[in-house]
Structure 1
């Protein structure tokens, strides 16, 4: 793992110093609490990348979609970071403590971002962490405090152990690029082979990095981001097949042959906001200026929404939202 670039050093420092506004997360009942992990690490050039998953196609919600590792809280005493770390362990095998990480790696909890309201009416707290090499004495370190000697790559050392019931694949994306309208690097020339780079896409998939548009949601105008992350030139980890007696042939993997994975919805918005904080700059594309949904969660709590249990007739309506916005 290379030493961090100056821009990456500053990004980590800003995230470490970030203090979010008061949150409504702890006013939510347990059944409405969730957290996700924004796990950052330095690539071989010293730029920051973020770990993402493709959800299993068998899940009841957001099946087959890109997501950050995460899920629902187990108890009221569990912090959002504890929830995010536990879920990352269950989904991709990320160890729960530094002592169980292969040396010389460690994980630093940098900050938490404002809670987002998912379409399933969960309050989702993003937790940002940095996976790095352990510091060494100043005499043998770079200015960033990390070893100047060659350190094993994250992808090559921390091979995820995926839960096939929840995760279909693990991949990574360039973190700063969630502020950009185009790929971070010029697209390489390519043939039809996915192994030669992200230049050629299967029919029907866009070849560019970003597409976006405005939509109405919760009585507000919302920018919907769609990022198409090149994966042909990186390691995409999938669940290992179990060795057992012969079984019926499985259906074809819908991810096979794709050279880009689509990241959109709340996951995309969280990554845009995290990158805005980290790099202290605004995106090249149009976006919502506020971070998270703390105000909206507060309004809905005041009118009696987001209760412990959600009934079949408890769907959020425009009348609910208009009433909440007036409080």
Structure 2
């Protein structure tokens, strides 16, 4: 199945939305307990893989542990429409976090193969469409991550000291192809460190049919205007090359924030497929040609960028340094489209939403 990415999707009017609280008063005690027990085996869900070297990953720093605890405590608002959507409208993406050698969180991102019909050549989170109505969002995301980047679904494939913890889901996003996309957040736990970077050891095996590259990005940086540069490292160009953003006016004053992040690749290992055919070969070779010509950053934008910003907001309890849409997801817009009959069975070749249609519905809210 395909990785999901989308051109900027339209969100509902912020004046009718309120943010789901990150933590209420009753959560504080549980949050403190969660931070203290972040590495305890009784809160982890074990999965297995022989392609990860657990000794290369450091324990999470205090700031990272606190971020994980906030994600663990987050509960999204109910979205009952999901249970009424056909399988052709259901999708999920996986935000796989891990701690680098400094204990800071990074997130795994892929570069789509040119052989994919929708949004080829774009940076995206592992994910795709549901196969059955019985699949939960996390099951969809994990299956797609296995197919695309080799993250195993079988518990026995991981060494005993590696575990994947499912942390939370954020409110659903609407892809331009009219899919309800669930952002599913998980953390890769590992014990010990041998000085090798996690990027060199843990980036998964690629699926040669769908993924042209796998890389990682500094998670907290998705709240910042500039690169956060660790001591002893450098970034290509200037630190302010990290972010660009702009507002798009859609209809009657409704505005959507477009985020563009440029992730440095000079201080990490970018994994690319060994076997290349068709569109995969084309995009992999294009990437290498651009890198040889001096490209040292990968662009992350669209729905992927918006989801990363939202998850980072929850994790760190901070607002971005740049302007942004305040609410999470597009659930109110999807409820309206559902009532219009636009979220029914999706047929091949069915056109996605036009700007005019989305703007018209957004203006009603």
Give TM-score scaled by structure 1 length. Answer: 0.83
- Does the 8 A contact of 1:303 with 1:324 survive in 2? no
CA contact (8 A) 2:176 2:353 kept: no
Quote the offset at 1:153 in angstroms: 5.0
What is the match of residue 346 of structure 2? Answer: 309
Counterpart residue number, 1:194: none
Q: CA deviation at 1:26?
A: 2.6
- Work out which of the residue numbers 324, 327, 330 in structure 2 matches 1:293: 330
Structure 1 residues 200 and 320 mapped into 2: Cα distance closer, same or farther (>3 Å)?
closer
Summarize deviations over 1:265-292 as a string: whole Å, max 9, x none: 0000000000000000100000000100
Change (3 A) 1:55 1:5: same
Distance change (3 Å), C-alpha of 1:46 and 1:315: closer
Map of 1:140 onto structure 2: none
- Cα deviations across residues 204-248 of structure 1 (Å, max 9, x unaligned)? xx9700000011358731000000000111000001137x9xx9x
Q: Which residue of 1 aligns with 2:219?
A: 175
CA distance in 1, matches of 2:160, 2:315: 27
- 1:17 paired with 2:55, answer no
Gaps of 5+ in 2: 1-56
Cα RMSD for the two superposed structures: 2.8
- 3-state SS in 2 of match to 1:240: coil
Note the C-alpha offset of 1:104. 2.0
Whether contact under 8 Å (2:93, 2:126) holds in the other structure is: yes
Structure number with higher relative contact order (C-alpha < 8 Å, ≥ 6 residues apart): 2
Aligned length: 298
- Structure 1 residues not aligned, in runs of 5+: 134-146, 190-196
Q: Give the number of the structure whose residues are more often helix, by fraction.
A: 2
TM normalised by structure 2 equals 0.75
Alignment of 1:310-325 (within 5 A): 310=347, 315-317=352-354, 318-319=356-357, 322=360
Is 2:310 the partner of 1:253? Answer: no
Aligned to 2:99: 42
Assess if the C-alpha contact under 8 Å between 1:71 and 1:87 holds in 2.
yes
Give the deviation of 1:316 after TM superposition.
3.0
C-alpha deviations, 1:170-198, integer Å up to 9, x for none? Answer: 00000000000000117989xxxxxxx64
